[in-house]
Amino acid sequence: MTARRHSAGGEQEFAEERASLVRITFGPLIWAMHFLLSYAGAAVFCAKFPHASEHLDLLVWGIGLATLVALAGIAWQGQRSFHQWRKGNEDSLIEEDADGSSEDRHQFLGHAALLLAVISAVGVIYTALPAFLTATCR
């Protein structure tokens, strides 16, 4: 009924953790901020900046910088989640049947957050691609 491999203190240590449910959304939120900034930045730049077409490299480097910042944030979040997940679970990439302990739930949220960080990183890199391949206000 209770944990196979867990210490008695586990229940207390990982009690509730509402914050870590919120934390799984950090990766996607960084993607969303980066996406919004890139889109709004390009829209305002092309619409409001005089001679926008001649100074496109400014925009491209701005988006490039934002991409680096976003990726750094996601990497930080990713390694935190990695540690949360990997503690005592070294054997598999696909977490298997849950045993109902709070430690298990703790690791699950770490795993979900890590995977979301990976997908967010791919999303951020994809968002940056047009800045380098399609840099035109036309």
Partner 1 sequence: MSGCEGPQSVFRTGGSDAAQLEHLFLVMLAGAVVLWLGINGLFYYASRVSARPVSRARVEALILGGGVGLPVVVLTALLVYGLSIMPDQRAPGDGLRLRVTGEQFWWRVEYWPEGAEAPVVSANEVRLPVGRRTEIELAATDVIHSFWLPALGGKTDLIPGRVNRMSLEPTEVGTWRGQCAEFCGLSHALMAFQAITLEEAEFGAWLAREAQGLAPEARTAEGYAIFTAQGCGGCHALRGTEARGTVGPDLTHVGGRATLAAGILPMTADALTDWIRDPAAFKPGVEMPGYDHMDPDELATLALWLEGLR
Partner 2 sequence: MTVADPERLGRPIPAAADRFAAPAPSGPFPPTPEMLAEPVPPDLAAAQEDRLRKAWKAPSGWRYWSAVNNSEVGVWYTLTCLAFMLGAGVLALLMRVQLAVPENGFLSADRYNQFFTMHGSAMMFLFAVPMFEAVSILLLPALLGARDLPFPRLSAFGYWCFLIGGVFVLGSVFFDAAPNSGWFMYPPVSLQQEGVGPDIWLLGLSFIEVASIAAAVELIVGTLKCRPPGMRVNLMPLYAWYVMVVGGMILFAFPPLIAGDFLYELQSGFDWPFFDPERGGDPLLWQHLFWIFGHPEVYIIFLPSIALTAMIVPTFARRPIVGYSWIVLSAVGTGFLSFGLWVHHMFTTGLPALSLGFFSAASEAVVIPTGVQLFAFVATLLAGRARMGLPMLWIAGALAIFTAGGLTGVMVAIAPFDWQAHDTYFVVAHLHYTLFGGFVFPVIAGAVYFYPVVTGRMLSERLGRWAFWLIFAGFNIAFLPMHLTGLIGMPRRVFTYPAEMGWGGLNMVSTLASFVIAAGFAVLVWDLLRAAWVGPRTSRNPWNAGTLEFVPDPDENWGTRSIPYVHTRYPAWEQEAFVERVDSGRFYLPDAPEGLRETLVTSVIDARPLQVLRVPGPSWITHVAALFTAGAFILPVYHLYWAAGVSSALAILTVCVWLYLSARSHPEAETKDAGLGLRLPLYVSGPSSVGWWAMWITMLGDATAFASLVFGVFFYWTARPDFPPEGAAMASGTLAVAALVALALSWALTLTARVVNARGRPWTATLCLAVAPLLAVAGGAALLGSVWLPDLDPTSHVYPAILWAIVIWTLVHVGGGIIMQLFCLVGLLAGDFTPRHDAPLWNITLFWHFLALTVLVTVAVVAGLPRLL
Residues that bind partner 1 (CB under 8 A): 92-94, 118, 122, 126, 129-130, 133-136, 138
Q: What's the CA angle centered on 132, arms 33 and 134, to 5 degrees?
A: 95
Q: Which of residues 19-78 bind partner 2 (CB under 8 A)?
A: 20-21, 24-25, 28-29, 31-32, 35, 38-39, 42-44, 46-48, 59
6 contacts: CB under 8 Å, gap ≥ 6: 101, 103, 104
Cα-Cα-Cα-Cα dihedral sign, residues 67, 35, 81, 98: negative
Q: Which of residues 97-136 bind partner 2 (CB under 8 A)?
A: 97-100, 102, 104-105, 108-109, 111-112, 115-116, 119-120, 122-123, 126-127, 129-131, 133-136
Q: Which of 10, 17, 64, 82 binds partner 2 (CB under 8 A)?
A: 17
d(CA 27, CA 30): 5
Q: Which of 9, 18, 50, 54 binds partner 2 (CB under 8 A)?
A: 18
